[in-house]
Amino acid sequence: GQSLEQPSEVTAVEGAIVQINCTYQTSGFYGLSWYQQHDGGAPTFLSYNALDGLEETGRFSSFLSRSDSYGYLLLQELQMKDSASYFCAVLQTGANNLFFGTGTRLTVIP
Amino acid sequence: DTAVSQTPKYLVTQMGNDKSIKCEQNLGHDTMYWYKQDSKKFLKIMFSYNNKELIINETVPNRFSPKSPDKAHLNLHINSLELGDSAVYFCASSPLAGGNEQFFGPGTRLTVL
């Protein structure tokens, strides 16, 4: 089986930096993805880590430590439009699908 | 141009009815998926098709039947709808099976009364 744990809610101030953590337990881990979902919208892909380290894409970065079964999404220079739910998702070796975490609702306040 | 489209966007129906949701992708992807997102926003895979062939069939009641007439379309038919089927259903696609980057449709909000 597999499990992913994320905080259910995070609140941060506009312009600040926020980190959303994800710990996972799975067999045959291949990589960790992050998705953003605004209320009423569809999940959209943000990033993917297969190797240890930090991947940066503009204001968003994602980190993976395979030895710790841990990753995080880092959002910098927060904007009001970043208020959304963020999901980590595991890609398992031999599997043909992603297994999603329960999501973290980020609220950005002025 | 819409990459992954679903119809209808909203579906309100009575218990016991049969309904279908359609999905189309114009990205040229080989793999398509159906997910169910419940009221707690948990996103769970239901089915996956690769080039019209079923490759994932999670523990889903057999009242749910997917059908892929070609690799650009994946439809979902639901028989004898139950209250617990109320959820948002998302179609998604990826270039290959097991893709880490999946492209989601806008979702279909199903409400069973």
Count other C-beta atoms under 10 Å from residue B39's C-beta.
8
In whole angstroms, what is the distance from residue B66 CA to residue A46 CA? 28
In whole angstroms, what is the distance from residue B15 CA to residue B23 CA? 23
Q: What letter does residue A79 receive in the DSSP assignment?
A: -
Tell if the CB–CB gap between B98 and A97 is shorter than 8 Å.
yes
Residues of chain B in contact with residue A91, where contact means CB-CB under 8 angstroms, are 98, 100
From B86's Cα to the closest Cα of chain A, the distance in A is 15
Would you state the pLDDT for residue B1?
66
Residues of chain A in contact with residue B44, where contact means CB-CB under 8 angstroms, are 100
| Residue B8 pLDDT grade (very low, low, confident, very high; cuts 50, 70, 90) | very high
A44, A85, A99 ranked by CB distance to B41: nearest:
A85
Q: What is the largest distance, in Å, between two alpha-carbon atoms of chain B? A: 37
Would you state the pLDDT for residue B99?
81
Q: In this structure, are residues A36 and A88 in contact, taking their beta carbons and an 8 Å threshold?
A: no
pLDDT digits (tens, 9 = 90+) for B22-44: 999 999 999 999 999 999 889 99
The first and second tokens of residue B111, run together, are 């409400």
Residues of chain A in contact with residue B40, where contact means CB-CB under 8 angstroms, are 102
Residues of chain A in contact with residue B94, where contact means CB-CB under 8 angstroms, are none
Tell if the CB–CB gap between B45 and A48 is shorter than 8 Å.
no
Q: In this structure, are residues A100 and B44 in contact, taking their beta carbons and an 8 Å threshold?
A: yes
| Residue A83 pLDDT grade (very low, low, confident, very high; cuts 50, 70, 90) | very high
Tell if the CB–CB gap between B40 and A99 is shorter than 8 Å.
no
Bridge partner residues of B82 (DSSP): none
Would you state the pLDDT for residue A41?
96
pLDDT digits (tens, 9 = 90+) for B44-99: 999 888 888 888 777 789 999 999 999 999 999 999 999 999 999 999 999 987 78
